[in-house]
Chain A
Amino acid sequence: MGLTLFTFLAAILTAVTVFGVKARGSSARAFRVAAFASVAYAILLSAGYLLAADYRGAALILVRCAGAGVVVSYLAFLRLAVGYPYAKRIVALDIALAAIAAAAAWAIVFTDAYIVDLKRFGLEYIRFEGDYHAAIAIAVASIGILSAVTMVVRAVSIRSRVYRQHLAVMAAGLAVSVAWGYAFAVLGPSTRLVAVYPLSAANCLFAALAASYAFSSTRVFQAHTAAKGLAAWAVVLLGFGLPLGFAVAVAFLFRAASPATSIAFAALAFIVFGRWAESFARGRIGAEHDQSSREDLEAAIAHLDLSAGRESVLSALSSIMEGAFGCSWFSALSEDDSGGLRRVYPDDDQLVSTPGSPTLEALAAVDRHVILKTDVVADESLADLKAALLAFFDVLGSEAIVLAKEGRRVVGVFAFGPKRSGADYDALDYAAFDAVHGKLFVVAYYARHVSRESLLDTVEKEIGLADQVVRSVQERIDPIDHPGVSVAFKCQSPRGLGGDLFDSVRISEHRWFFVVGDVSGKGLNASMSMVILKSMIRTLLREEKDFVKLVSRTNAFIKERLPRGTFFSGVFGFLALDKGSIYFINCGIPAMFFRSPSLDSVIETQGEGKMLGFVKNIEPYLKTRKLALPPGSRLLISTDGIVEAESVRGERYGKERLVRILGENKASSAAETVEAVVRSASAFAGGRLDDDITVVAIDYQGAPKENKR
């Protein structure tokens, strides 16, 4: 009963596994026929065996049907052996095999050629064999052997290693299946093996499971890895299974005296030995070891010194990767300004994929960031992209790639050459690539956004000398040098490079344009976006006379041209010093305070604003405001770095403190007030501001006398 139950469970497990295979095509159809016929065989034979004690007639029909099932299964495996891995239809062969299957099934089920009668007395199973039983058994086994041999021959001749391995695994499964079936099903009833006859029903399941593996796996495994795994599992089975069996047997002895204690003891033994075995297997079979290796690899990549320059960083990464994966070479591609992919390591600057090419489209469309060449060859889910991806692998000569993508955009590609050992990249390599993908992404992003080495040398020297390059751009403004106004500002970043921006442009003798704000992001990337945006605003300012349209076009530029997720929070303004007015559009500046000498109070003036970069067309949201500036008034503008500065206790600096500083510095100059604000916020934050800051103070002294006349 126990063995029959085991066979039923094995059949159900196999059926579930086969249902999980998503392959299509004629080979996959042959596989499904073979697998489900195998499952049917197991269930029919087991059921027939159970019924043979009391329902001989029904048992005979079931066992005959099982015999027909195994014929169908082996013929389907033969079809699989001929056609795998191709989806091509072979109509003549299909018809011939179907005809043979039908004839054999008819002979087995509807005549006495195979089995005449059955009888079971306990474990004693008697089978009255027909005149052609031996001939049928040998013929069926021969089909199985022929299928296995065909698979071996095809495995030797096929070029793809992954398919070669699939065919070999299927051939092994079939060989075990035939041997198992012949031993238990054919010879069993006439030997001592009759006691374990129900196990014969499981014979085809080996072949079905092996084929399921072939249709589910797209990666090769190394023979020594598989052997090591099997050996470790054998140790687990023997080392833990035998003591467990002994413990359960002891419990079984006391079943009559105390059934509950006996069952509880057996259950406890299962739990204890199960946990020991699991713990042992984790350590020995490799999961923890592999995890540890991956963490070491992650740490090595994370510790790359990005300040060393692109060539040095990629060279160091190449050494790490070649050591970890045993690849013969390593290459890095980076998205260039046109959107194509260019090789940056080794730095031959070769354009590998042009913008809009099928390759780039395929890389953009693929829904994974690690691709092994064997995946492309064998994975049906990549069938639509197969040609383009294989072309890409061929151009590079690589066997594995890791993609760095921002959404669909391919920022970079890391390519790995064939292994020095000649082996293919396997499932363990895939897991390791997957584990370090995040770290590789950072390197790809770095390579994408740091310019070429020749330029980088210059830039890095400047960055190394306290961000002079960016600062020089930041400070390249038209100073508001006018007798009616005094303007002071300070931009500061905790990392030297930041995205905060202040710019002013002289429009006419008494008119000045200014912009204050924060380009999102941090460090070098934010600085680059800031420099680009500053340049673009100046360009637009020359072209666009309409204030709202100027801001709207700036928004469109951010949305369409700057990296995804970039936005700008700030304010655009025009100073009309002859009129004593400021016209401004608030684009999300968090703090803009006005102090009038006549009121001697501070008013928050920015109103509601919409940040740039969130929507394609921002024009409907933009509102131009006018602020009259009486002589002696002061305007203080600050980005979020000040307002949101946090103390060590987690308190925000907030606007109230800004207002207080403004009130305390009524008599101070604009420059002194700006310094006071920065000093206060910095002290509040414990001497360390986390965010970029920009503070601007505009003191209006009144219109020039010549204009008053």
Chain B
Amino acid sequence: MTGISVEVAERGSWTVLSVHGPINSYTYNELQEKTMRHAGRVDMAVDLSGVSSMTSAGIGVLLAAIEDAETAGKRFVVVAPSEVARLAIESTGFSDRFPTAPSLKELPA
């Protein structure tokens, strides 16, 4: 099974997690671990442009990160979701719960 890679980098005031590969029940642990480390502590952007598939496991991780950010008054943004990631987000019926930026360059200041 193809693995997932989650790279963490700083970009201005944002901590950016760049995800590559499929997010499913076998791979979501790494994403969960890294989002939990940062969610609610920093302004976090999750770059989903490299996501090849995303199941509900990935949505759950993002939702938890969003709720942590809201609780702590931090910002959370999904960046450039791939087509499959966008569809997974839309399937929740609450796309507006996932603030989205079209690219890393267009992250809010």
Task: List residues of chain A with CB under 8 Å of any chain B CB.
Answer: 367, 369, 405-408, 437-438, 441-442, 494-495, 518, 520-523, 563-567, 569, 588, 590, 608-611, 613-615, 621, 640, 644, 646, 650, 652, 690-692
Contact = CB atoms under 8 A, between A and B. Distances in A.
B59 A567 contact: yes
B94 A565 contact: no
Given A367-B41, A564-B64, A690-B25, A610 B53 contact: no
Interface residues on B, range: 35 or more
Contacts of B94: 610-611, 614-615
A407 B40 contact: yes
Given A567-B63, A588-B93, A644-B53, 18 more contacts: A407-B39, A407-B68, A407-B72, A408-B68, A438-B37, A520-B60, A564-B63, A564-B68, A565-B60, A565-B61, A567-B59, A569-B56, A611-B91, A646-B22, A690-B1, A690-B24, A691-B56, A691-B57
Contacts of B53: 644, 646, 650, 652
Secondary structure dominating the interface of A:
loop
Nearest to B42: A367
A495 B29 CA distance: 15
Contact of A614 (B22, B28, B63, B65): B63
Contacts of A564: 63-64, 67-68
Interface of B: 1, 22, 24-26, 28-29, 33-34, 36-37, 39-41, 52-53, 55-57, 59-65, 67-68, 71-72, 91-94, 97
Contacts of B60: 520-521, 565-567
B93 A609 contact: yes
Contacts of A437: 37
A610 B25 contact: no
Nearest to A405: B36
Given A407-B67, A565-B61, A569-B92, A615 B97 contact: yes
Nearest to B36: A406
A590 B34 CA distance: 29
Chain B binding site: helix, strand, loop or mixed by DSSP?
helix
B41 A614 contact: no
A456 B25 CA distance: 24
Pairs of residues from A and B, 8 with the lowest C-beta to C-beta distance, nearest first: A565-B64, A407-B68, A610-B93, A520-B60, A614-B94, A522-B25, A407-B40, A565-B60
B47 to A, nearest CB: 19
A614 B25 contact: no
A375 B34 CA distance: 24
A565 B22 CA distance: 19
A611 B55 contact: no
A566 B66 CA distance: 12
Contact of A611 (B36, B40, B68, B92): B92
A406 B39 CA distance: 9
A320 B39 CA distance: 29
Contact of B57 (A438, A520, A615): A520
A614 B92 contact: yes
26 contacts: A406-B36, A406-B64, A407-B39, A407-B40, A407-B64, A407-B68, A408-B40, A408-B71, A408-B72, A441-B36, A565-B65, A566-B60, A609-B93, A610-B92, A614-B92, A614-B93, A615-B97, A621-B93, A640-B56, A646-B22, A646-B53, A650-B53, A652-B53, A690-B26, A691-B55, A692-B25
Nearest to A646: B53
B88 to A, nearest CB: 8
Contact of B67 (A565, A644, A691): A565
* Interface-centre pick from A407, A494, A523, A569 (highest chain B CB count, 10 A): A407
Contact of A522 (B52, B57, B63): B57
B92 A567 contact: yes
A565 B37 contact: no
A69 B67 CA distance: 55
Contacts of B91: 569, 588, 590, 611, 640
A517 B65 CA distance: 23
B83 to A, nearest CB: 12
A568 B36 CA distance: 21
B33 A438 contact: yes
Contacts of B72: 407-408
B52 A441 contact: no
Contact of A565 (B33, B63, B93): B63
A136 to B, nearest CB: 51
B55 A644 contact: yes
Contacts of B65: 565
Q: Which of B36, B37, B97 has the most CB of A within 10 A?
A: B36
Residue of B22, B94, B97 with most chain A CB atoms under a 10 A cut-off: B94
B24 A691 contact: yes
A621 B40 CA distance: 28
Nearest to B68: A407
A412 to B, nearest CB: 13
Contacts of A614: 63, 92-94, 97
A363 B45 CA distance: 25
B25 to A, nearest CB: 4
A563 B63 CA distance: 11
A406 B61 CA distance: 11
A640 B64 contact: no
Contacts of B63: 520, 564-565, 567, 613-614
Nearest to B52: A650
Contact of A494 (B25, B40, B52, B68): B25
B20 to A, nearest CB: 14
A405 B22 CA distance: 26
